[in-house]
Amino acid sequence: MRYRKPYFDYSSEGFYFITINTRRREPYFGNISNKKVELSDIGIIAGKYWLNIKEHFQNVRLWNYIIMPDHIHGIIQILPVNAIKIKKEKSINFNYENFLSKIVSNKFGPLKSNSVPVIINQYKSSVTRWCNKNHKSFFAWQPRYFDRIIRNETELYFFQRYIMNNPMNWEKKRIRK
């Protein structure tokens, strides 16, 4: 995974696989027991606020997600402007020319509204505010997040399976570190 793709318009319609880590990979969100996630109070809030993203961004459809002890994985779909009213539609239309047309010039300036960076920044801020308000001041995020632009249905399926199997693979990942 890598940071933002240069010259890409992250407000354009498409599917995005997101990973957000806690600072120093601290297990603020809970733990894994018997290959199942047991969420802490912060983990429960992180999950609740993740699901609330669609209430604040009308152009977003949330797909699979998982709150792990030290990170979150989720798939966000940015809907085309004319499809916001038919948000529940399940069709997936991947078009490589359309994908290439989303490449824009890289320039400084404010973040584009309803874009992936705005969504993630607001999400992280909401969880942090809750922690600060509820005296969980030890909580902190990693400064950035990782994303992957999902280019086709095969990749979408792969990331859905990856998210679903993440708790079961937790111990394997810990052993390799």
Number of domains in the chain: 1
Structural domain harbouring 137: 14-176
**Is the residue at 116 inside a domain?**
yes
pLDDT for 71 equals 97
Residue 40 has pLDDT above 70, yes or no: yes
Residue 88 has pLDDT above 60, yes or no: no
**Is the residue at 66 inside a domain?**
yes
**Is the residue at 141 inside a domain?**
yes
- List pLDDT tens digits, range 15-26: 999 999 999 999
- Residue (of 27, 69, 77) closest to 53 by Cα position: 77
| Positions of E strands within 58-175 | 60-67, 71-78, 146-150
Q: What percent of the chain has pLDDT over 90?
A: 65
Residue 104 has pLDDT above 90, yes or no: no
Question: Which domain CATH number covers 172?
Answer: 3.30.70.1290
Q: 9 or 28: whose pLDDT is higher?
A: 28
pLDDT for 31 equals 95
Q: 102 or 120: whose pLDDT is higher?
A: 120
